[in-house]
Structures are given as structure tokens and as C-alpha cells.
Amino acid sequence: MPDPRSYLTNPAEFRDVSRGNPRPHTLKGDALVQARLTPETWRLEIVSDGTTTIQTPRCLEKNNAIDFAELQNLGKQHGKKFLKAMQCLNIAVPLGQGLWEGVPLREVVKLVGRVNNIRRIYWWGFHNNDPKQVFQASLSYSQVFETPPWDLGPLVAYKLNGQPIPLLRGGPVRMVIPWAHGFKSTKWLHRITLTNNVAANDTYANGNNEIESYLKTAAYLEDGPGVVRAGQPIDVSGTAMVGWSGLKRVEYWLRPDAGKHGQLADDDPAWRGARWLPCTLDGPPANWGGQLLDNVMPRDVWGLDPKTGRPKEWPMRFSVVRWSVTLRDLKPGTYEFRARAVDLNDFAQPEPRPYQKSGQNPVQVRQITVMA
């Protein structure tokens, strides 16, 4: 069975897609202090944009902004831990998976007391104080406050894999939205604004990307040998993102090369005649025990049964799982290998949302040549 640590990406190995000049995680010395990006200087404001009324705004001006110690103390009472893979809306591959720890956003917002006339919650992350480089996102009030008990809600996170979130990964504090693409999980969190505005303020709000940004269930191919000798088994593998609608299986389609470098139009009749065969999904560890991370037990992690230490569902939503298949006895020639995910609704990738601006999930292809 897989080692549970294999499901966690070393923070240093997460793919870096941050932007800016300079990038916030490259700041040093006084620049880092001025940006409030150390645990000692970090502060979080919760304010109104003037369209809502807040009983007790938390802001720098009043010297009552939330500091790192207060957030951690709140975590002792309301803290959550869960596994989540990060994926950029515009990149067709997961960027890394970690065990995130923090406080539900609703508990943080409650620190301002009574609120009236509120529709959405905006948040903003430091990005060089350049309006053109500001990263921000939002959710409706109900999305934040009415998360069903069997599901995950937005988290104000301060730990990754049991350690403080590195600056490179958006620390000391970042937002983490379990079901969303990465731009919702704003790094270097500085300010939360409560508003009666009905419109989203997200980074992509003025573009044509999907704002609510639910993760798609999709299979992705890993690199492998492109040329093998006849009679040699061919191991093909990859990862699958388990999105909002869960994952039932990963399957593959192997056909002789059509001479178009793997290109296949969405409306090509070949899709209707494709013969899809099952791949193997890695299973969970037989006993997570105390091995997930030092001093972290299954009862502490969302989605793991506190009595058995096993996942309540597998694969776990919002995480990644490895898949594989071994091809045997292929005759000499060139082949096209495709893999796709099928969700719990029996929708096969790229359905049900084939529009790529709502998340990259094209059915990927790899060419394999078998030599005599």
C-alpha cells in the first residue's frame, strides 16, 4: 500500500506560478517587514466597503487588526485540517498537494461581531501594492457561513504539512478554498472586506474565466518512454484531480496512430467508437495511524474516519490520486494513448464543463512507438 507521505508534496516542490516584480516571496529584510509578511508583523484587517455595517471593524488604523497569535488561538478552538491539491485555472496539471491547517473563514469573520446588509465577502493579498498586480477573490455570504457539516468550507490557513506556511507558498497566512482553482486561494492574505455588492471582485472578474471556479475531475498523463521494443511491457501512469463531482474511475483508449501527431478534433467520429478500458487507481494506506505527519492523527483530518483511520471516501475529493496501467503484447507501430476521468455522475472528461476557461481538462494524448 502507498506510504501516506507520498500524497503530500514538499512545499519547496510545489510549482511556483506567482507573479510580480519583485515577487512577494523574494522580499528581504525591511521590505518584508513593511509588507507585513513575517509572523511577527502580519496583520489581517476586516472592514466594510461602506455598504455594510460592522459592529467592531478590525483594522490597522484602530490598532486592533488580527495578529498571528490571535489567529492561532482561534485555531485551538475551531481549527481544521484537510488534504487539498492546488491547481491553476489555466494550467492542465495539479501544482502540488498538501495538508492545510487553519481556521474556517466564517469563524474569522465572526470576530467583528454583528454585521448587517452583507452579500459577499472579498479578500485581498499583498502583491507589491501595485493595483495591476493585486490578487483578490470573493465568495457569497452563504458560501462562507453555511457550509454543510459533511463538506469543506473556506479556510484561513497558517500551516502546510504541519509546518508554518513558507513565504513561497503564500505564508505566513493565505486563504485556501478546498473546492476551487488556485486563484481563489489568495496568497499573503492581508484584508477581508464585507460588502453588500452583488458582484464578484475576483482577479478574473473582468475576463472570461469562470469566477466560482469549482475544481474539475480530470486525469492527466505523466511523461514516459516514447519508444519501446516489441515484447516489452509499457507502464503508463498519471494523476487524477478529484474535483467537485468526485471520481469513479480513470480509463484509457489506445488506438493506432492516425498520422496527425495525436490531434483529434472534438467532433471527430472516432470518439464515438472509442473503446475505453479501466486503469488502476492507487488505494489509500491500510493504516494511516500517526504516520500522516508528526503528531497528526486521523481524527484531526477532515475526511478520515477517527475510528479506523481510513478515508470515508476514496479517492478523496479535492485531492489527487495516482493511476496506472501496463500495456502488453503491442505489435510494432505507433500508437495514441489517451486517458480520461469519469466522475460520480458518470460524466466523462472533458464533460460536464468542456469549456477550458472554467479549468483546463482536455483529454491528453501520448504517442508510443513500438520497435520490432
Domain carrying residue 301? 218-371
Radius of gyration of the chain (CA): 23
CATH number at residue 9: 3.90.420.10
Average pLDDT over residues 304-316: 88
Residue 119 in any domain: the answer is yes
Q: Which amino acid is at 72?
A: Q
Q: Where are the alpha helices (DSSP H) in 87-136?
A: 105-109
- Please name the helix (run of DSSP H) or strand (run of DSSP E) that holds residue 33, with its range, or none: helix 29-34
Q: d(Cα 184, Cα 100) in Å, to the nearest integer?
A: 15
What is the model's pLDDT at position 128? Answer: 73
Residue 185 in any domain: the answer is yes
Cell numbers standing for residue 238: 498519471
Average pLDDT over residues 315-343: 96
**Could you read off the pLDDT of 153-185 as tens digits, one per residue?**
999 999 999 899 999 999 999 999 999 999 899
**One domain, residues 294 and 345:** yes
Residue 208 in any domain: the answer is no
CATH number at residue 294: 2.60.40.650
Q: What is the residue whose three cell numbers read 520497435?
A: 371
Q: d(Cα 83, Cα 31) in Å, to the nearest integer?
A: 32
Model's pTM, two decimal places? 0.92
Q: d(Cα 34, Cα 300) in Å, to the nearest integer?
A: 35
**One domain, residues 181 and 301:** no
Residue 206 in any domain: the answer is no
What is the model's pLDDT at position 90? Answer: 87
Residue 210 in any domain: the answer is no
**Could you read off the pLDDT of 258-297 as tens digits, one per residue?**
999 899 999 999 999 999 999 999 998 766 666 666 667 7
Residue 202 in any domain: the answer is no
Q: Are the CB atoms for 141 and 119 separated by under 8 Å?
A: yes
Which of 315, 328, 346 lies closest to 7, judged by CA? 315
**One domain, residues 158 and 222:** no
Residue 98 in any domain: the answer is yes
Of 202 and 168, which is predicted with more confidence?
168
Q: d(Cα 323, Cα 298) in Å, to the nearest integer?
A: 24
Evaluated on CA atoms 167, 93, 150, 83, the torsion sign reads negative
Give me the percent of the chain exceeding a pLDDT of 70: 94
Per DSSP (E only), the strands in 41-95 are 43-48, 53-54, 66-67, 80-86
Please report which confidence band the pLDDT of residue 357 belongs to, taking 50, 70 and 90 as the band edges. Answer: confident
**One domain, residues 233 and 130:** no
**One domain, residues 254 and 168:** no
What is the model's pLDDT at position 4? Answer: 46
**One domain, residues 106 and 150:** yes
**One domain, residues 102 and 242:** no
**One domain, residues 165 and 21:** yes
**One domain, residues 22 and 148:** yes
Q: How is residue 300 annotated by DSSP?
A: G
Q: d(Cα 188, Cα 169) in Å, to the nearest integer?
A: 9
Q: Are the CB atoms for 98 and 149 separated by under 8 Å?
A: no
Cell numbers standing for residue 72: 492561532
Q: How is residue 99 annotated by DSSP?
A: E
Chosen domain end from 195, 226, 252: 195
**One domain, residues 161 and 251:** no
Chosen domain end from 164, 195, 226: 195
**One domain, residues 134 and 268:** no
Evaluated on CA atoms 14, 168, 124, 205, the torsion sign reads negative
**One domain, residues 191 and 290:** no
**Structural domain total, the chain:** 2
What is the model's pLDDT at position 285? Answer: 72
Residue 213 in any domain: the answer is no
Which of 166, 5, 197, 158 lies closest to 71, judged by CA? 158
Chosen domain end from 160, 195, 230: 195
